[in-house]
Amino acid sequence: NELAKTTLFQILMGEMEPDEGTYKWGITTSRAYFPLDSGSEFDNDYSIVDWLTQYSEEKDATYVRGFLGRMLFAGDDGVKKVKVLSGGEKVRCLLSKMMISGANVLIFDEPTNHLDMESITALNNGMTKFSGVILFSSRDHQIVQTTANRIMEIVPGGKMIDKITTYDEYLESDEMARKRQTQYRMMMKTKKVSLICRDKKTVTCKIELQSFYNRKLHFLLYKKPQQALLLYDGICYTNTV
């Protein structure tokens, strides 16, 4: 669930408040965040050098340019306005920002978006060599397989499966498969709910949750309205019959 993992990262970075529960960072941790949507970061008139300088304790331009150079910004690139940068250039700026922070905890939310294969490989190598803690989400199988050494899966009902292993080993593990099946089986129950129809009449029906993970819902209606609106677990579904 893309929204769920982004919300989790935003809560961990203090950008959102959780509805319930608490968390606490260790006193020796420092954090840097690569957001899924970074548009607001570049909605200004800063040059690349000025933009990065605001995040650096050391304000010397040569020092700041050194970090930009690692991301292949050379020479006059530093005076380019950040609001006109391409998607790939913005990603490189964000990575420069994370490096210059010196953080020992990195949070990446889909960092490979807008990157070409060569850049993805370079990012993969950097993440693998990083000696601190990384929390990340990615659709790139190679990055997940080579970087992650601990997998946490949040299953229906808010339960979490936590295993120190690689991604492929996690998927292939019979033990993990049994745990997932147990959790998902708890959700595969027939429930009675009410559908609000266009004519404002309430129609009683049964709903069978075949696959919570893919959110595939199957309706068995006692009556057949033209259009039914279902509110289930806070998610709105429509079904034409």
- DSSP-derived secondary structure for 112-131: TTT--HHHHHHHHHHHHH--
13 confidence band (pLDDT: 50, 70, 90): very high
Distance CA 140, CA 186 (A): 30
Report yes or no: 231 and 216 within 8 Å, Cβ to Cβ: no
- Could you tell me the pTM of the whole model? 0.73
Packing angle, helices 87-101 and 61-70, rounded to 10: 120
Instruction: Say if residue 48's pLDDT is above 90.
Output: yes
Report yes or no: 120 and 112 within 8 Å, Cβ to Cβ: yes
Of 39 and 157, which is predicted with more confidence? 39
pLDDT confidence of residue 72: 87
Distance CA 21, CA 233 (A): 19
131 confidence band (pLDDT: 50, 70, 90): very high
82 confidence band (pLDDT: 50, 70, 90): very high
Instruction: Say if residue 111's pLDDT is above 50.
Output: yes
Average pLDDT over all residues of the chain: 78
pLDDT confidence of residue 194: 46
